[in-house]
Structure 1
Amino acid sequence: MNEIDFRGVVLPYMAKILDFFETHYPALDIEDEEDSITIELSDQRQFLINIHPISKQIWLSSPLSGAHHYAYNGETQDWMDTRVDLSLLSQLKSELEEVA
């Protein structure tokens, strides 16, 4: 996947994540930077989601489960964890149900 193709699939997904949080968790402190989203919980722990163009992945740093890398799966058109069969949005939903 070249840089243009990567940006074409990653940017809409990041917007989808941002929209999900703003809709379902409006009380959370959400910071949207150019290539990253920071979500701060009420206890000051943070989720950091950022685009990693060199590896063509999205990286998640979670205060609950640690670091994860997600690669685009063209068949499912979703960003899937490179170690387990779980999408980024599914991971975030699951973890936020525990703490938010």
Structure 2
Amino acid sequence: MFGSARHARHLATSAEPPSAGEFAKAAEETLEDLQDRLEEAGLDEDLDISYSDGVLTIRLGDKGTYVINKQTPNRQLWFSSPISGPKRFDYVATEGKWLDTREREPLHQLLYAELEQLTGVSLS
């Protein structure tokens, strides 16, 4: 009917995209929450966190830089990591989570695991 089993699987697992308002609220709350949590965690003396205009930047000195930013037209958060590279996350309102578009891994889980790997500090 759809031409491929892959297309049918995609339709079965796709959630309804959030409205523009839901996206804006969820993205802003998530980025601000991540900033607060990381600043309170005491990860490293080289840690530099900045958040401005929908872009959260986490600098870990010679360990690398993370950038998480809003992509309003796509209603996604885009993630750039020194470990896993670029990823895109969709907001799934029914779960209250940002999930990777490919592996479906939650944003917080991925970021915290990678930061623990780089700094030795557990955030979970």
TM-score, with structure 2 as normaliser: 0.75
SS in 1 for 2:56: strand
Q: In the alignment, residue 16 of structure 1 is paired with which amino acid?
A: D
Partner of 2:3: none
1:78-97 equivalent positions in 2, closer than 5 A: 78-97=97-116
Partner of 1:65: 84
Structure with max Cα Rg: 2
Shift of 1:38: 0.6
Percentage of matched positions with identical amino acids: 29
Q: Unaligned 5+ residue runs, structure 1?
A: none
**Contact 2:90 / 2:100 at 8 angstroms: preserved in 1?**
yes
> Of residues 13, 36, 48 in structure 2, which corresponds to 1:29?
48
RMSD: 1.4
TM-score, with structure 1 as normaliser: 0.91
Greater strand share, structure number: 1
Shift of 1:14: 1.0
Q: Unaligned 5+ residue runs, structure 2?
A: 1-17, 120-124
Aligned residues: 100
